[in-house]
Structure 1
Amino acid sequence: MTTRIQDDLFAAVNADWLATTEIPADKPRISAFDELVLEIEKSLTEDLTELSKNLPTENAELLEAIKFYNKAGDWKTRDKADFTAVKKELAKIENLTSLSKLSERLTDLIFHSQAPVPFGIGVEPDMKDAQNYALGLTGPGLILPDTTYYADEHPRKAELLDFWQKNSAEILTTFGVENAEKIAADAVKFDSLLVDSANTSEEWAKYAELYNPVSYEEFLSKITTVDLKPFFDSFVKKNPEKIIIFEPRFYDRFNDLISQENWELIKSWMLVKIARKATSFLSEDLRILGSAYGRFLSNISEARSQEKHQLDVTEGYFDQVIGLFYGKKYFGDEAKADVKRMTSAMIKIYQDRLRTNTWLSLATREKAIEKLDAITVNIAYPDQLPEVFKRLKVGAASLYEDAVRFDEILTARHYEKYNEKVDKSEWHMPAHMVNAYYSPDANSINFPAAILQAPFYSLKQTASQNYGGIGAVIAHEISHAFDNNGAQFDKYGNLNKWWTDKDYAAFEIKQNEMIGEFDGLETEAGKANGKLIVSENIADQGGITAALTATKLEADANLEEFFTQWAKIWRMKASIEFQQMLLSMDVHAPGKLRANVPPTNLDEFFSTFDVQAADKMYRAPEKRVKIW
């Protein structure tokens, strides 16, 4: 029986695709995004192989990327190499006899070791002073995808931890580590201690609420089991005023968790982390072994091919270099100008919608329009590479040793930034990534070249199709400036309340309406969590609404094409295990819900397809959520 659009837009539009498309054996899903990824992987593999034969000597950064790519694909050398370099890294931790010894060696370990310390001190733009950087504390992260997996009732908790433990022991044994089974078991024990102090996915999703500053003096006086001052002194030019606590429960329990009593567990956890990371750069057998847990987690039947792995490893260090090459080769000026035009149109429509908004005061609307005026639009690829790529030079040693040295360089660069002003022109995605993003601290929207192609965008598609694809994506990113997180940042990128209290209270009511619209909706993998996905749902709704407005201004507007294209860009098939993981931690709604729910808040959807009260896609007018 044929599915009708009136009953299921996603299934009706994508029926043939859903029936015939198979999930690749080495991936957990296939989607409109992933199909482009596959094409880009194929193109880049051909390009880098050709560049390997004709080295790009005129492009120093790309030349180093090709050298690394060649080394990553030299399986004869990788398979016969010994593990001396890995054992050297493991020995740095094996030789530590106490937590106090870790404390003494902390600075050297962070800057010159593959060992992750059991807490995170990061450098990020200060949410309340976006021109400058701040230091932040996080916990060390968890083995399982998020905190919900540790609930006793979770059906996969035991099998996943058991698999990770046995897999880790096998990796350690390959490296000649004694007592590998006990070390792996102790790593899992340490992980179990961290769960209650870790942020939930819902907490991470409310990133504007993660800003919990404490004074530098208070921070140092509270954390007593590890002496952090020498580490700070090693890279800061003057004492910080504050440290941002991103995981408050971890901060409160720091001395209990990172303690001498737990030292053997911590040590085991660090050893396992070193060993697991090393597997990506060594023999074929270790590569397969090291990626086994990820495949088990998402029910992936095959490991990545050697050819794809070679590209993956290279992108791990040279992503922006490869992205810039891709963008310049594959993205033309005509398309860039057209996307720029569409973006300007989207921003103008948002301004017009704000001017006629009926639930905000004039003062808040004017501030919102100012924020729109200040948005920086970045299309296709950055003007230049970050300076750090000039420092990555491939040496004569092994692939693993190059990776270790590159990690040291990138770590040093990360902490160097603290003493600098924030470079808001720096991209956070390479140009060959099929994605887009809004940066609240820079008040910018970025559209990498890779997403600016069919089905999202094409000069061969109609204007209505392009607005249903990339137009809605563009407006989605603009909407992030006014979602539950982005709305708390001002036009300069600072966390700063620019709303009136009454207006923000009205906005929170609308947020709750959006939460309620999605919360508990059934999918084949479980129920949606409306609170986790609210920011992306606000952006989706704002995006489709603005793009629809733009479409209707076109002389040849075709709303059937618009809504059909919208449904196409969210097509997706995935393993149940992967879908379950996304439901627990992804801030985006599942593809089918993204395709089906936002249109039901638009009156034009019902008139375009003559959707009646008896149809499954029907939503009563009074229940249609309207925000932007």
Structure 2
Amino acid sequence: MPDVTYRQDLYAAVNGAWEKTAVIPDDKPTTGGFADLAIDVEKNLMQDLADFESGAKAYDNPLMAKVVALYRIAKDFDKRDQDNFAPLAPDLKRVADLKDFADLQQQLSDWYKTLPTPFGIQVDADMKDTAKNVVYAFAPSLFLPDKPYYEVDNENGQQLLAAFKKMALQLLQMVDKTEDEAKALLDQALKFDASLVPFVKSAEEWADYTAMYNPKDFDTFSHYSQQLDLGQLVQDLVDAKPDKVIVAEPKFYEHINEILTPATFGNLKAWLYLNTLLSATGSLSEEFRQVGGQYHRALSGSKVAMSQTKSAYYIATNRFSQLVGDYYGRTYFGDAARQDVRQMVQKMIEVYKKRLAQNDWLSEATKTKAILKLSKIVIKVGYPDKIKPIYEKMQVDPNKSLYAVLKDISQVALADQLAKFKRPVDRTEWGMPAQMVNAMYDPSRNDITFPAAILQAPFYSLQQTSSQNYGGIGAVIAHEISHAFDNNGAKFDEYGNMNNWWTDEDYSIFKKLTQAMIAEFDGLPFAGGKVNGKLVVSENVADAGGLSCALEAAKNEPETDLKAFFINWARIWRMKASKQYRQLLLATDVHAPNVLRANEQPKNLADFYTTFGVVPGDGMYLAPEKRVKIW
């Protein structure tokens, strides 16, 4: 393919021919790149799980018997169809029998463990003292994906709301509500949902990660609501009286007495009833599973529900995710590959240190702190060394319904999560399982995680050249390292504590540079809409730092092929997706659209221009004064 094509559109030159023939699986919203690797993982583990169940293959870890047992229950659709919604009926009745807030308050602690509530309580590391766990308070989720969908001129929101209403009405009648009863209940639930919209955070607001840190003394938090004793609930859940609660969404709690009033109790009750029903559809009969997935399919553009067997696979593996991940990592990745990638990560950190030392806009004081932070990053590759003890506690009773078994497992998981309040932060915990095709940086732990599933071609392979690997997994590794210095990560020190380690002048320059990154992407057209530069800024800062750092590492190798480097960078971002899914990502995802990740970041690098001969007038040309370089 002639270089002029790369000069006009790198993404299309690399992925155009593939995109013309690529077929999106009917039960998926997308294919290509990450999605294709996830499908390979899915195929391998589905076959293994089927072989475990039949006895054709043995497993080493006896705890895997629980995964197999849950899989067997989940795919017994004869029993699930026979039970219909009977397993759920007692919980629906419990909601229907609620009389008033006093009644809810009387059973609130027990209620919280199994049923929906109009708020969320979690335990996690204190952002300013990450050795300790604290209580966080959240607002509830909305029915639609994000706040802008509720705006009157949002056509996507109107279409999705119509799909949601259709599904909800059908489900309510399937649990023996008359059509009139279903319409009335749905109307009340939607009114309560609408009452939340002004006071919950949007995806753009959530992108400012540290803005969730709003510590309130326990007495203040306890008295937010006039209708429910939130303080007593927290004490019951964590079996202690905290000094403070971190209020992640203060606007919601400051207005909770406008949301929860005697006059709105009927709306709340309908909202609780509908959420109880919606959360259960995937564990009831086939009809409930199909109808309950209609809204998600409208949202994502998937054409059909996944097969019964595949849905059973996901039910089982999601509940025992790290257990399955340990099996996947040891079976399909192994320790030798783990050590090889670990060395690659360490090499990338050294390149990053060198780049920081040579940085021309940071003061020496800030450079020293930044390099210290780099040296303290904890590297997690492949799969964890140990499995969480929680899986010992989770039980799968073959005599119970799927709904009941999942309820038991969820209660164990919640109890373990809340029990962290009395334990120090476990820095060895992983934020994602080994079979997930992804990677992450955790600012509160200052660690980077690369699960086994992402460590394969086109990201990484011993059959690829070093330049290809650096354009793939190398850029991903450096991307995650860069999150330590994006607009969120830069606010945390080497121990993961939220702490300003910058000089005022340096941070002022950094903010100007991040504004330039916002400007580079803001308003770019995609999927009939425009990119929100503020929503995607942290990931773009990480992409820019990751690509430039990986480029330097590739150039340090004995043999360097920069064409192969940039081509593989574009290849890992290939994606073909439904229109609905592209619109959803544009509205809610903190990552820029894949085609823009592939095309925009190389425009900031001088080596891209010399490698492909890009000149003014070419589609890939960006004027020098508009090119953004941060790390």
- TM-score by length of structure 2 reads 0.97
Tell me the equivalent position of 2:241.
Answer: 239
Q: Distance between the aligned counterparts of 1:512 and 1:156, measured in 2?
A: 29
1:155-166 mapped onto 2 (5 Å cutoff): 155-166=155-166
With 402-411 and 548-557 compared, the bigger mean Cα shift is at 402-411
Q: Label 1:25 to 1:58 Cα distance change in 2 as closer, same or farther (>3 A).
A: closer
Aligned pair partner of 2:617 in 614, 617, 624 = 614
For 1:527-565, what per-residue CA distance to the aligned partner results, in whole angstroms no more than 9, with x for missing partners? 111000000000000000000000001111100000000
Amino acid at match of 1:363: A
For 1:441-497, what per-residue CA distance to the aligned partner results, in whole angstroms no more than 9, with x for missing partners? 110000000000000000110000000000000000000000000000000011111
Tell me the equivalent position of 2:136.
Answer: 136
Please give the secondary structure, in 1, of the residue aligned with 2:39.
Answer: helix
Q: Distance between the aligned counterparts of 2:425 and 2:584, measured in 1?
A: 34
* Alignment length (residue pairs): 626
Tell me the equivalent position of 2:27.
Answer: 26
Give 1:58 shift: 5.2
1:481-560 mapped onto 2 (5 Å cutoff): 481-560=484-563
Q: Indicate conservation of the 8 Å contact 1:6/1:609, yes or no.
A: yes
Give 1:57 shift: 7.2
Tell me the equivalent position of 1:116.
Answer: 116
Tell me the equivalent position of 1:11.
Answer: 12
Aligned pair partner of 2:573 in 570, 575, 581 = 570
Q: Distance between the aligned counterparts of 1:184 and 1:235, measured in 2?
A: 31
1:28-107 mapped onto 2 (5 Å cutoff): 28-54=29-55, 59-107=61-109
Tell me the equivalent position of 1:175.
Answer: 175
Structure 1 residues not aligned, in runs of 5+: none
Q: Distance between the aligned counterparts of 1:183 and 1:32, measured in 2?
A: 43
Q: Distance between the aligned counterparts of 1:50 and 1:4, measured in 2?
A: 47
Answering whether residue 156 of structure 2 is matched by residue 153 of structure 1, we say no
Aligned pair partner of 2:460 in 457, 462, 480 = 457
Q: Indicate conservation of the 8 Å contact 2:222/2:232, yes or no.
A: no
Give 1:82 shift: 4.0
Q: Distance between the aligned counterparts of 1:319 and 1:425, measured in 2?
A: 16
Give 1:235 shift: 3.6
Q: Distance between the aligned counterparts of 1:156 and 1:357, measured in 2?
A: 45
Tell me the equivalent position of 2:217.
Answer: 215
For 1:130-153, what per-residue CA distance to the aligned partner results, in whole angstroms no more than 9, with x for missing partners? 111111121111011100101111
Amino acid at match of 2:109: T
For 1:224-268, what per-residue CA distance to the aligned partner results, in whole angstroms no more than 9, with x for missing partners? 221123322224354211111111210110111022211111111
Q: Distance between the aligned counterparts of 1:377 and 1:290, measured in 2?
A: 40
Amino acid at match of 1:23: I
Q: Indicate conservation of the 8 Å contact 1:56/1:62, yes or no.
A: no
For 1:422-446, what per-residue CA distance to the aligned partner results, in whole angstroms no more than 9, with x for missing partners? 1111111110000000011110000
Q: Distance between the aligned counterparts of 2:450 and 2:188, measured in 1?
A: 44
Tell me the equivalent position of 1:359.
Answer: 361
Tell me the equivalent position of 2:264.
Answer: 262
Q: Indicate conservation of the 8 Å contact 1:166/1:181, yes or no.
A: no
Q: Label 1:259 to 1:25 Cα distance change in 2 as closer, same or farther (>3 A).
A: same
For 1:105-129, what per-residue CA distance to the aligned partner results, in whole angstroms no more than 9, with x for missing partners? 1001012x2x210111121211111
Amino acid at match of 2:34: F
1:211-610 mapped onto 2 (5 Å cutoff): 211-395=213-397, 396-610=399-613
Q: Indicate conservation of the 8 Å contact 1:166/1:184, yes or no.
A: no
Amino acid at match of 1:90: L
Give 1:524 shift: 3.0
For 1:555-589, what per-residue CA distance to the aligned partner results, in whole angstroms no more than 9, with x for missing partners? 11100000000000001111121111111110000
With 35-44 and 169-178 compared, the bigger mean Cα shift is at 169-178
Amino acid at match of 1:381: Y
* Runs of 4+ displaced beyond 3 Å: 55-58, 235-238
Aligned-pair identity in percent equals: 44
Amino acid at match of 2:68: I
Q: Distance between the aligned counterparts of 1:561 and 1:99, measured in 2?
A: 64
Q: Indicate conservation of the 8 Å contact 2:123/2:418, yes or no.
A: yes
- TM-score by length of structure 1 reads 0.98
Q: Indicate conservation of the 8 Å contact 2:395/2:408, yes or no.
A: no
Amino acid at match of 1:602: L
Please give the secondary structure, in 1, of the residue aligned with 2:238.
Answer: coil
Q: Distance between the aligned counterparts of 1:521 and 1:574, measured in 2?
A: 18
Structure 2 residues not aligned, in runs of 5+: none
- Give the superposed CA RMSD: 1.4
Amino acid at match of 1:375: I
Q: Distance between the aligned counterparts of 2:364 and 2:165, measured in 1?
A: 59
Please give the secondary structure, in 2, of the residue aligned with 1:223.
Answer: coil
With 469-478 and 391-400 compared, the bigger mean Cα shift is at 391-400
Q: Label 1:166 to 1:460 Cα distance change in 2 as closer, same or farther (>3 A).
A: same
Q: Indicate conservation of the 8 Å contact 1:295/1:302, yes or no.
A: yes
With 328-337 and 447-456 compared, the bigger mean Cα shift is at 328-337
Q: Indicate conservation of the 8 Å contact 2:121/2:234, yes or no.
A: no
With 536-545 and 413-422 compared, the bigger mean Cα shift is at 413-422
Answering whether residue 619 of structure 2 is matched by residue 625 of structure 1, we say no
For 1:27-65, what per-residue CA distance to the aligned partner results, in whole angstroms no more than 9, with x for missing partners? 111120000111111111110011112285752321101
Give 1:277 shift: 1.4
Q: Distance between the aligned counterparts of 1:279 and 1:171, measured in 2?
A: 9
Q: Indicate conservation of the 8 Å contact 2:223/2:231, yes or no.
A: no
Q: Indicate conservation of the 8 Å contact 2:298/2:580, yes or no.
A: no
Give 1:522 shift: 1.0
